[in-house]
Amino acid sequence: MSNRLARRVNLMPPGTVMTTRNEAVNIETPPEVPAEVSRPIERGLPTIGVRREVRVAGIRIAGRRRRPSGERAPLDRELRTTGRFWLLAGVALIGVWVSLFAFPATTSWWTRHDLSVLRRFVDIRTDTLTSIADAVAVLGSSWFLRILRIGTLLALIFIRRWRHFFAVILAILFVQWTVDILQEVVGRPRPLVPLIGSWEGASHPSGPVARFGVTVATMAYALVPTGRWRRRALGIAGGLVALLILAQLYLGVDHPSDAIVSAVFAIAVTVVLFRWFAPESAFPVHWKPGVTAHLDVTGARGEAIREAVGEQLGMDVLEIKPFGLEGSGGSTPLRMKVKGDPDTFVFAKLYSQTHLRSDRWYKVGRTILYGSLEDEVRFTSVRRLVEYEDYIQRLMRDAGVRSAEPFGIVEIAPEREYLMVSEFLEGSEELTHAEIDDDVIDDALEVIRCMWDAGLAHRDVKPANVMLNDGRIVLIDVAFGSVRPTPWRQAVDLANMMVILGLRVGAPRVYERALLQFAPEDIGEAFAATRSVTLPSQSRSSLAIIKKEQGVDLVEEFRKLAPATEPISIQRWSPRRQRLTAGAALVIIFVVGQVITEFTGGGFL
Amino acid sequence: MSRRLILGLLLTTLLASGCNSGLGLDQPDCNDLELNTHFLAAQAVTTAKYTPCIDELRLGWDSVDWYARDGEAGIEFRGGTTPFLTVSVTETCDVSDARPARSGHPVGYPDIDRFEDTESVPIVIRITIIPLGEGPLTSAENIVEEFGREEIEDRRVIMTIDGDLEQDARSRVDRALANDHYVWIISNLDAEERTIEMRSNTTAVAGTGLSPEKAIDLIEDHVPDLFFRGSWYFTFEGGCITYDFDAKGIRAVTVAEDADDALGFYPAYQLRQFFRDGGFDMG
């Protein structure tokens, strides 16, 4: 908490400052501090200075603590022990391959030992065992794998798990291409024993084992919920891979080293890729259809949030619940109950790399569809994203725009996950659901006036972001806000606010009230810059309903009321947009071609 | 050091060391007997005395794809992206529709029998000019002089004059058409106007009062594309090597001769014997 804020809410007595450790210390003669405001407390951190307990709007804040150097962050990396094991296994494999190339003579050593094992299999060959081995070898056949892979992908399409869908494709493609390249590069002949099974290409690494391994491993990671079922699925998958390896060795078509290396490689790729691309905490597997871009805040993450909020903001979190998920795609909004007198709610937005990636793709999509409207540049890290949102939120408040009181940023996992905690607007309601009188209209338009005067734009003025709290307008979700934007951006903010108000009380009344704070030319400019791409989808839907039910084109009514103004150009075909559009077209052509290839019998599946 | 850099270095090391090692699937070079590709081909057809190999690639043979699987190994040659020749070794092949090659055994391989079953279009265009009198004969000679060295669609034009004026025109025309020649008939009127009447076995390639240039254009519009397709079979103890041709355009003219020169036979039986002597079984 800043000194300014702390003083504003009367937390710190005069002469007290916040140190870099966020501890309130007295630098002058200790004044008499009321017992209910400041007193030493114990939070299990006896070595760190004097603690004080303070209260902000009934919220108990106590015992903040800086994470010392070397201490682990509240939420550890997703790779975990198994992930590290498979990552190391993968790296070890690369080491083996490099040694193989650097010292080709080592291949003789491998071959000698491989053959001694294979000869034992040759010695036990019987007709019955051969029939069994032939049957098991079907696991690695292309038609069987095709059924499994297409089935998996169709299931993922059905439950709309796109992240897992692409993770499966990526894993399969990566393993397939790597195996193909290595077979060419290594070019190992088949074992020097009688070959009685089917084979194709060079021996190392084993194509069937790698392809089957990656298929069953991706199935387990993409389709089976984590926990007992996942462990069972992986156990079964491992057993089947082992069976296939035995069959390949019995039939003499693979060396033991070929088969084992392939299995390790396929599983290592799958584990690492899923942990990186579709981590369980961000993309949990369950069989309920629907998009889940939001993070799971139970389990380890929930604990990490409690710990981090306690240490970094000094709040004791009693309960964490997702809140208003349907209205948020760019973060995971939460309502947290924190200890106080009485216990109070705070609002929090959890940002992670998942959201950062979503933001990037969202901006790419907008650039392709609408062109570079303005500032579609992506954030480079989660830290930058939350820093920016926090900054804009504070800037807006400084400019007189009412929004939720920010309490601070909490680090859950460095550079990967941050939580923004702010005041919970208890009893607020969306402007579109509230009673509206002239005072409310004036207040809403004054918010825009404040932003104009301060050189700011909200850029996402829509019904869900304009709340009425204690009869005053509060603007939320300021993440898209911009400082000194292009003029049409500010004009569009005005138009969008007038549309929201117009939806409730009609265009003439809103226009009349707007003239108290804006010039007619300002309003003309606002609606000259307004078109479907500048209207948030929520407003567009409401406008369409009114048009259908009452035959009223609200935007057109505003245009008629305002002085006639030439339409303002807001889009352009920038080189970046052209490149992105061409790239998207190529991707679509590739995907369509791939689908056709798959259905005609070729392709990577 | 960033993870990307480490990964990049690892991959570069892997690829560089792979390229510099003696490992890998190189083209099955007839002059290098110790390639893994020869080993795998010998393992694919364990009975075959020979497997196909490349003596020397020809200009325009842009890419060579080698493959081996149980029962078959081969090489696919491409010009651009189109395969025009696939050479494969299998345990047996059906030569019942093929005829023994006139050239007999391949040079140096008396134990290999060669059969052919190919088809192609003639690589020259033959035009027979039939003058119907002395005046037309002179005109025919002038036409040969002027157009005798033309090429149509990469094919040389050979013009001959059937100046046997004692024979009737109809029998001369029939004879030329029977040999699949284009026929240019020159009457006295044609000789005066420097035109011809064209007939051929293709209905569309015919007309009267045509200038020689127009007649050549007409032939050019309807001349069938060059192709060379079909198979050559080389049979020997325990196996058969098949050359499957599907060449079009100018490549069809040279592919047969190029294939003969560029490809050879790898003595897989020697490799097998080598390993057998060492106590190993190649399958």
List the CATH number of the domain containing B186: 3.40.50.800
Same domain? For B138 and B271 the reply is no
pLDDT digits (tens, 9 = 90+) for A147-195: 999 899 999 988 888 889 999 999 998 998 889 888 888 888 999 999 9
The band of A452, judged by pLDDT with boundaries at 50, 70 and 90, is very high
Question: What pLDDT does A44 receive?
Answer: 40
Q: Return the higher-pLDDT residue of A341 and A492.
A: A492
Same domain? For B215 and B141 the reply is yes
Q: Return the higher-pLDDT residue of A286 and A580.
A: A580
Nearest to A433 by CA among A467, A401, A462: A467
pLDDT digits (tens, 9 = 90+) for A311-332: 888 888 999 988 876 666 678 8
Q: Report which listed range, A130-139, A276-285, A335-344, B16-25, is most confident.
A: A130-139
Question: What pLDDT does A55 receive?
Answer: 62
Among B188, B207, B222, the domain-final residue is B222
Average pLDDT on B149-161 reads: 87
Question: What pLDDT does A576 receive?
Answer: 78
Same domain? For B94 and B128 the reply is no
Which residues of chain A are within 8 Å of residue B17 when distances are taken between CB atoms? 98, 101-102
Distance CA B224, CA A305 (A): 78
Is residue B75 included in any domain, yes or no? yes
Question: What pLDDT does A248 receive?
Answer: 96
Same domain? For B128 and B218 the reply is yes
Is residue B16 included in any domain, yes or no? no
To test the contact with chain B by mutation, choose from A111, A134, A192 the residue with the greatest count of B C-beta atoms within 10 A, namely: A192
Task: Note whether A273 contacts B: Cβ–Cβ < 8 A.
Answer: no
Task: Note whether A26 contacts B: Cβ–Cβ < 8 A.
Answer: no
Same domain? For B152 and B217 the reply is yes
Q: Hey, are the CB atoms on A193 and B281 less than 8 Å from each other?
A: yes
Average pLDDT on A53-79 reads: 70
Is residue B14 included in any domain, yes or no? no
Same domain? For B136 and B197 the reply is yes
pLDDT digits (tens, 9 = 90+) for A188-213: 899 999 999 999 999 989 999 999 99
Same domain? For B95 and B134 the reply is no
**Which of A97, A107, A198 is nearest residue B70 as measured by Cβ atoms?**
A198
Is residue B32 included in any domain, yes or no? no
Same domain? For B101 and B129 the reply is no
Question: What's CA B214's distance to the chain center, in Å?
Answer: 31
Q: Return the higher-pLDDT residue of A486 and A398.
A: A398
Q: Which residue of A has its CA nearest to B14?
A: A98
**Residue A342 preceded by cis peptide, ω within 30:** yes
Task: Note whether B283 contacts A: Cβ–Cβ < 8 A.
Answer: yes
Task: Note whether B69 contacts A: Cβ–Cβ < 8 A.
Answer: yes
Question: What pLDDT does A26 receive?
Answer: 42
Distance CA A255, CA A539 (A): 65
Structure-block tokens of residue B217 = 């254009």
Question: What pLDDT does A597 receive?
Answer: 75
Q: Which residue of B has its CA nearest to A201?
A: B68
B70 CA to chain A: closest CA distance, Å? 6
Task: Note whether A107 contacts B: Cβ–Cβ < 8 A.
Answer: yes
**Which of A104, A190, A200 is nearest residue B23 as measured by Cβ atoms?**
A104
Q: To which residue do tokens 């040999």 refer?
A: B179
Question: What pLDDT does B17 receive?
Answer: 52
pLDDT at A39 over 50: no
| Domain span at B240 | 47-106+225-283
pLDDT digits (tens, 9 = 90+) for B187-207: 999 999 999 999 998 888 899
Largest CA distance in chain A: 98
Is residue B234 included in any domain, yes or no? yes
Among B222, B252, B273, the domain-final residue is B222
Question: What pLDDT does A313 receive?
Answer: 87
Is residue B36 included in any domain, yes or no? no
Task: Note whether A188 contacts B: Cβ–Cβ < 8 A.
Answer: yes
Q: Hey, are the CB atoms on B68 and A184 less than 8 Å from each other?
A: no
Which residues of chain A are within 8 Å of residue B18 when distances are taken between CB atoms? 97, 101, 185-186
Same domain? For B218 and B232 the reply is no
Distance CA A415, CA B109 (A): 71
To test the contact with chain B by mutation, choose from A199, A248, A258 the residue with the greatest count of B C-beta atoms within 10 A, namely: A199
Among B175, B200, B222, the domain-final residue is B222
**Total domains, chain B:** 2
Is residue B3 included in any domain, yes or no? no
pLDDT digits (tens, 9 = 90+) for B38-77: 999 999 999 999 999 999 888 888 888 899 999 999 999 9
| Angle of CA points A229, A282, A584, to nearest 5° | 115
Same domain? For B217 and B143 the reply is yes
Same domain? For B148 and B159 the reply is yes
Distance CA A446, CA A68 (A): 46
The ipTM (two decimal places) reads: 0.77
Cβ-count burial A579-602 (b if 16+ within 10 Å, e if not) = ebeeeeeeeeeeeeeeeeebeeee
Task: Note whether B2 contacts A: Cβ–Cβ < 8 A.
Answer: no
Question: What pLDDT does A275 receive?
Answer: 84
Question: What pLDDT does B210 receive?
Answer: 94
The letter for the amino acid at A150 is I
Q: Return the higher-pLDDT residue of B26 and A339.
A: A339
Q: Hey, are the CB atoms on A100 and B69 less than 8 Å from each other?
A: no
**Which of A102, A189, A192 is nearest residue B36 as measured by Cβ atoms?**
A189
pLDDT digits (tens, 9 = 90+) for B211-244: 999 999 999 998 888 899 999 999 999 999 999 9
Which residues of chain B are within 8 Å of residue A94 when distances are taken between CB atoms? 10, 14
pLDDT digits (tens, 9 = 90+) for B251-281: 888 899 999 999 999 999 998 888 888 888 7
Burial class (CB in 10 A: 0-12, 13-18, 19+), A77: middle
Question: What pLDDT does B3 receive?
Answer: 57
Task: Note whether A97 contacts B: Cβ–Cβ < 8 A.
Answer: yes
Same domain? For B79 and B134 the reply is no
Q: Residue B94: left (phi > 0), alpha (psi -120 to 50), or beta?
A: beta
The band of B4, judged by pLDDT with boundaries at 50, 70 and 90, is low
Q: Return the higher-pLDDT residue of A579 and A259.
A: A259
In the three-class reduction of DSSP (H, G, I as helix; E, B as strand; rest coil), residue A548 is classed as helix
Q: Hey, are the CB atoms on B25 and A183 less than 8 Å from each other?
A: yes
pLDDT digits (tens, 9 = 90+) for A392-415: 999 999 999 988 888 899 999 888
Percent share of chain B, pLDDT over 90:
55
The band of A591, judged by pLDDT with boundaries at 50, 70 and 90, is confident
Question: What pLDDT does B42 receive?
Answer: 93
The band of A84, judged by pLDDT with boundaries at 50, 70 and 90, is confident
pLDDT digits (tens, 9 = 90+) for A240-262: 999 999 999 999 999 999 999 99
pLDDT at A453 over 50: yes
Is residue B18 included in any domain, yes or no? no
pLDDT at A50 over 60: no
Tell me if B280 sits within 8 A of A111, measured CB to CB: no
Q: Residue A470: left (phi > 0), alpha (psi -120 to 50), or beta?
A: left
Question: What pLDDT does A326 receive?
Answer: 62
Question: What pLDDT does A1 receive?
Answer: 38
